[in-house]
Amino acid sequence: MAANSISHCFSLSITILFLYLLLVHCNVTYDRKAIAIDGQKRILFSGSIHYPRSTPEMWEGLIQKAKNGGLDVIDTYVFWNLHEPSPGNYNFEGRYDLVQFIKLVKKAGLYVHLRIGPYICGEWNFGGFPVWLKYVPGISFRTDNEPFKKAMAKFTQKIVQMMKDENLFESQGGPIILSQIENEYEPESKLYGPAGKAYVKWAAKMAVGLNTGVPWVMCKEYDAPDPVINTCNGFYCDYFSPNKPYKPTLWTEAWTGWFSDFGGPNYQRPVEDLAFAVARFIQKGGSFVNYYMYHGGTNFGRTAGGPFITTSYDYDAPIDEYGLIRQPKYDHLKELHKAIKLCEKALLNSDPNIVILGSYEKAHVFSSESGGCAAFLSNYNLRSNAKVTFNNIHYNLPRWSISILPDCRNVVFNTAKVGTEASRVQMVPTNVKIESWETFNEDVHSVDDESSMTVKGLLEQLNITRDTSDYLWYTTSVRISSSESFPRKGTPLTLSIQTAGHGIHVFINGQLSGSAFGTQQKRKFSFTKNINLHPGENKISILSIAVGLPNIGPHFETRNIGVQGPVVLHGLDEGKKDLTWQKWSYKVGLKGEADNLGSPNSIPSNDWTRGSLATLKQRPLTWYKAFFNAPGGDDPLALDMSGMGKGQVWINGESIGRYWTISVNGNCSGCSYVGAFRQTKCHFGCGGPTQQWYHVPRSWLKPTRNSLVVFEEIGGDASKISIVKRLTATDK
């Protein structure tokens, strides 16, 4: 009898434990109103923080600041090209430690939206695709193509299994409540036609079949198949409705600003307008908002895409590139989140009743017995404030704003009324001296040595470099007989080059003849310049430069860069000489890259030359090395590169990224929060370089003798490079 009693008690305990686990680890679900976690519907605020765009030492602080700012969820892409640099070889270490990043989000008590993609766009090199994928036989990207689907499914399964192994899905007690498959596919879907539609169905079925226990989403995909939720990206999403009435209205990218490209302006999005956009979305029935970006961070190394995207990915986000809070954006959004959370029950338990208050003024009223009453009073007028009467009470509504009334009576927040002063950021010099400068010069004369490849005609750059370097040398020879008169009388000798970008430096007999670059708007460009040749053999060397691979659009397998031709000499006796189809030698990268000069222990010090920097100011293709001690304190640090031209920089072997001091081309005449925000509004930085300061993570530094290595393509004054610290007005 006692044994049976014990057995019964044991069985009852197991049953209770099982039911408890079901409650604790229940699947995330949704209805037309919202995502439900553990059976409870929620209005959720999320922010994008991309783990490789900061350092592991920064992650915890960034996540905590996001939580303090009123966020519930951290959103991140998964970066395929970082994690699988070659087929079947994976890297999840250091800045790529996705699992550790998600565990830190869980530790902070927040949820995760994991955007696996695996295409991400994100202004990231090649849209997040590994370049080796381009060379899989028979591949066609992002369509109903078996080689592509096989590779995509394999990587997606790899990531999902990693998450399952670590119990990171909410259905396992982890923080991941949503996952995304594909990314902004709608424009491509139309181009691919029936094959695009078939691919969308396949991707949805593949993802859902992985049984994560949490919903999948597709952003900017109007025909996302059930049960996948289609979502909105943009500056505004109040116009958006999901493709089925039983799906919630989710905004996966509320753009907090915009990215910068070298030569273009930097952007600010006024927080009054961003808050207005979020309130508009919520009053129309939205229940999930993700800020893209909440912390933008830095495109370290050669990860920036575009082409021409800057190393800084600051994005005018609430937390700036360096991890500092940006005011008033941070506090104003925090107050917005508080106000909307006060309305949560009413918002989730009723549909809005719209009351017309004037020509441009409306009230969205949410009222139910179980959820109380909440109201959003809006004024869409671009010119005038308004006085309205609602529930027999008078309210003043600033233009282009929404007031939030959690009890349908008292205003707790207005989107246009900002109560926090703007951050006053300073880049302050440190007392750090950069010393012991040495130089190393690229030997242009050796670019067609025995290690190069020679073929007839011009080859596409990416096919040769496989993105192992930004640089590819194209070299050919032109023989001028001593009896030949050139150039023709009265006609200069001119070299013209047509290229697919992104930049070139042209050397004639080892001397720089000129440079040319494309732009974000005009990537293909031509080089035309008068040159000097001498009787006999003349060497023409073209250093072709990539400035980030494309990250958007269809048919990644067809993307090309480099010197496409024709290459023509004009002004010879015969009129012109087409060099396109003669023999060209090719050499990938630079000698300094082959010698790993970015590393502090690369080659013996006697291969570097000590001397005065004054004589080297405008010498192209020069490497510089020096040492410095770390500044005291814990303020964020940056390199001021305004005295340099264009190139790359390393500290203690870690790549800070590409630098380029090209001046801003933009209209910085003014900025108003009123009216729809577009990239044409609110430019700043005119008159200076698009990017002057380059983030130096503190965790990359040692107390003393830190190595600084700079590769300069064009020419600059390395003695003007300095280390500065970033302070805000509240810093001591």
Q: CA-to-CA distance for 495 and 578, rounded, in angstroms?
A: 10
**pLDDT score of 21:** 42
The mean pLDDT of 35-57, rounded to a whole number, is: 97
Residues 440 and 597: their CA atoms lie apart, in Å, by 9
pLDDT at 492: 79
Q: What is the pLDDT of residues 552-565, one digit of tens each?
A: 999 999 999 999 99
Quick check: 125 and 467 in contact, CB under 8 A?
Answer: yes
pLDDT in tens, 595-604: 999 988 776 6
Q: Which pLDDT does position 490 carry in this prediction?
A: 55
For residues 451-464, average pLDDT: 92
Structure-block tokens of residue 336: 């917005």
Looking at the predicted structure, is the pLDDT value of residue 12 above 80? no
Q: Which of 120-124, 305-309, 664-668 has the lowest mean pLDDT?
A: 664-668
Mean pLDDT of 166-195: 96
Q: What is the pTM of this model?
A: 0.94
Are 116 and 156 contacting, i.e. CB atoms less than 8 angstroms apart? Answer: yes
CA dihedral 193→197→203→204, nearest 10 degrees, is: 160
- pLDDT band (50, 70, 90) for residue 452: confident
Query: Given this model, what pLDDT does residue 558 score?
Result: 94
- pLDDT class for 14, splitting at 50, 70, 90? very low
**Is 48 in a helix, a strand, or coil?**
strand
Catalytic residue (one of 182, 186, 253, 335): 253
Evaluate if residue 182 carries a pLDDT over 90.
yes
Task: With H, G, I as helix, E, B as strand and everything else as coil, classify residue 244.
Answer: coil
The domains found in the chain, sorted by start residue, are 41-326 (3.20.20.80), 351-417 (no CATH), 424-440+596-730 (2.60.120), 443-589 (2.60.120.260)
pLDDT tier at 575 (50, 70, 90 boundaries)? confident
pLDDT at residue 521, as a whole number: 85
Task: Answer whether residue 2 shows pLDDT above 70.
Answer: no
Residues 6+ apart with CB under 8 A from 10: none
User: What is the pLDDT at residue 703?
Assistant: 97
- 268-297 pLDDT, tens digit per residue, is 999 999 999 999 999 999 999 999 999 999
Residue 18 has pLDDT above 90, yes or no: no
- Among 501, 573, 498, 584, smallest CA distance to 533 is for 573
Q: What percent of the chain has pLDDT over 70?
A: 94
**Which residue do the tokens 């116009």 mark?**
239
* Higher per-residue confidence, 151 vs 576: 151
Catalytic residue among 84, 184, 188, 712: 184
The 3 state secondary structure assigned to 661-697 is: CCECCCCCCCCCCCCCCCCCCCEECCCCECCCEEEEC
CA gap 401, 631 in Å, rounded = 45
Scanning the structure block, which residue is given the tokens 């109040």? 238
| Helix axes 271-283 and 329-342, enclosed angle (nearest 10) | 20
Percentage of residues in the chain with pLDDT exceeding 90?
85
184 is a catalytic site residue: yes
Residues in contact with 215: Cβ distance below 8 Å, sequence separation at least 6, in sequence order: 28, 29, 30, 35, 177, 178, 179, 227, 228, 229
Compute the average pLDDT of residues 101-127.
Answer: 98
